[in-house]
Amino acid sequence: MKRQEGALRLMMEQAQLGDARAYRTLLEQLSSLLRLHLRRKLVQMGRNAANAEDLVQEVLMAVHARRDTYDPSEPFTPWLYAIARYKLIDHLRRSKMAHAEGPLDAAEAMSDGFDHTAVESGIDMEKLLATIPQHSQRVIRDVKLDGRSVAEAAAREGITEAAAKVRIHRGLKAMTVAIGGRLWREDR
């Protein structure tokens, strides 16, 4: 990321001056960066990552329309990711956080990607946990906050590993809806 910053910044400055070739290279690099970033975010939030490409395009269009709001004396990547975040929230609001799709097997992958430090600081993990049923709370606390394995957590609860995964999956899904409702309200 650090190494990219310099190159991206240079291309953006050229693009602001009207250099179409630098701009094309920039957009091509941004689209792959954004694709990875947005896919990860969507998966973290328990959303269908198939929408990532639409979102990539939306962010590229926003970057294009607002390219004059980048101040060349400031770092470029924070500018890009702030736009990406804004458009992601916009997207989530429009799809109204309907429901998470995806098979149950995804629970493992999804929970692996669920990094609680990534949850926006304004959202209190404890309050969020309190919105879901107690039995899910315990398993999520074990696995996500205390770093136990799924097998350990299942043993502590006296349930099978598959059942523990189901609880994690449902709990995270409910928490996602809770975050979504909050983002939606905050941003209106």
Spatial distance between the Cα atoms of 120 and 82, rounded to a whole number of angstroms: 13
Q: What is the 3-state secondary structure (H, E, C) of 117-173?
A: HHCCCCCCHHHHHCCCCHHHHHHHHHHHHCCCCHHHHHHHHCCCHHHHHHHHHHHHH
Two structure tokens written together for 20: 């179409």
Q: Which of 8, 9, 23, 46 binds another protein (CB under 8 A)?
A: 23
Spatial distance between the Cα atoms of 77 and 30, rounded to a whole number of angstroms: 10
Q: Does 186 bind another protein (CB under 8 A)?
A: yes
Q: Which of 61, 104, 130, 145 binds another protein (CB under 8 A)?
A: 61
Q: Does 66 bind another protein (CB under 8 A)?
A: yes
Instruction: Report the Cα 108 to chain-centroid distance in Å.
Output: 17
Q: Which of 72, 112, 115, 156 binds another protein (CB under 8 A)?
A: 72
Q: Which of 8, 38, 83, 110 binds another protein (CB under 8 A)?
A: 83
Q: Does 69 bind another protein (CB under 8 A)?
A: yes
What SS3 class is residue 24?
A: helix
Q: Does 120 bind another protein (CB under 8 A)?
A: no
Residues that bind another protein (CB under 8 A): 15-20, 23-24, 27-28, 31, 53, 56-57, 60-62, 64, 66-72, 74-75, 77-83, 85-86, 186-188
